[in-house]
């Protein structure tokens, strides 16, 4: 509606977004906004003008990741069989979670309502999950009564495993356990 952002404003916005994504991923959502500003080399006012609240900053970051995730999920659904697609996406989410503390905080509800962001986004992450799950269920590789919340809980567990007790072999083992557990 209004005219485009001034060139320096665009640069700063992008830089803040990038630094914030890295920082939240590495250290979680508890990092102060002042610190984000400092690391990005801008004033706190600049951050809060582009993103009025800390939550809006985090939402903007998530939105960028959503597209990628949904694309990955639909790609998998087309290319692989229903079983592999589901578990490949599950594994990808575990990897993303292990590398992204901010995402874990959000999933754990420690601060922000991930669910709400996911729902009001134009990228339907939950829908993509649902499709993968239902595909695998129709193919008979996942028990009929399991639902998305069950899957999310198992995902939370896998990510928790990696965060609290790092162990090179843990991820594969947990994925195996989950796979067996979900089998009909």
Q: Are the beta carbons of 119 and 126 closer than 8 angstroms? A: yes
Task: Supply the minimum distance, in Å, between the C-beta of residue 97 and DNA.
Answer: 22
Check binding of 94 to its own copies (CB under 8 A). no
CB of 48 to DNA, least distance (A): 4
Answer with the entry of its own copies, DNA, none that 26 interacts with (C-beta below 5 to 8 A by kind).
Answer: none
Angle among Cα 74, 125, 128 to the nearest 5 degrees reads 35
Among 18, 27, 32, 110, binds DNA (CB under 7 A): 32
Closest among 105, 114, 137 to 62, alpha carbons compared: 114
Is residue 58 a contact partner of residue 24, using CB atoms and an 8 Å limit?
Answer: yes
Q: Is 1 in the site for DNA (CB under 7 A)?
A: no
To its own copies, the closest distance from the beta carbon of 145 in angstroms equals 6
Q: Can residue 164 be called a binding residue for its own copies (CB under 8 A)?
A: yes
Binding mask 97-136 for DNA (x = CB under 7 A): ----------------------------------------
Q: Is 168 in the site for its own copies (CB under 8 A)?
A: no
Task: Select the span of 38-46, 86-94, 116-124, 149-157 touching DNA (CB under 7 A).
Answer: 38-46
7 forms part of the interface with its own copies (CB under 8 A): no
CA quadruple 70, 74, 79, 83: dihedral positive or negative? positive
Torsion over CA: 46, 48, 54, 55 (sign) = negative
**Least CB distance from residue 86 to its own copies, whole Å?**
14
Q: Is 12 exposed, middle or buried (0-12, 13-18, 19+ CB in 10 A)?
A: buried
- Helix, strand, coil distribution of the chain in percent, nearest 5: 75, 0, 25
- Asked if 167 touches its own copies (CB under 8 A), the answer is yes
Among 43, 64, 81, 140, the residue binding DNA under the rule CB under 7 A is 43
Looking at residue 130, the DSSP 8-state letter turns out to be H
């Amino acid at each position: 509606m209004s005219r485009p952002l001034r060139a320096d404003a665009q640069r700063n916005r992008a830089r803040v977004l990038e630094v914030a994504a890295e920082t939240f991923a590495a250290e979680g959502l508890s990092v102060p906004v002042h610190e984000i500003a400092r690391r990005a080399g801008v004033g706190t006012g600049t951050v809060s003008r582009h993103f009025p609240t800390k939550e809006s900053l985090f939402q903007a970051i998530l939105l960028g990741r959503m597209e990628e995730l949904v694309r990955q999920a639909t790609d998998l659904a087309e290319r692989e069989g229903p079983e592999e697609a589901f578990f490949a996406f599950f594994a990808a989410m575990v990897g993303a979670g292990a590398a992204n503390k901010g995402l874990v905080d959000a999933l754990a509800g420690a601060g922000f309502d991930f669910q709400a962001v996911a729902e009001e986004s134009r990228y339907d992450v939950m829908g993509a999950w649902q499709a993968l799950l239902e595909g695998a269920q129709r193919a008979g590789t996942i028990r009929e009564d399991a639902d998305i919340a069950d899957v999310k809980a198992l995902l939370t567990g896998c990510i928790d495993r990696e965060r609290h007790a790092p162990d090179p072999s843990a991820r594969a083992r947990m994925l195996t356990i989950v796979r067996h557990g979900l089998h009909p």
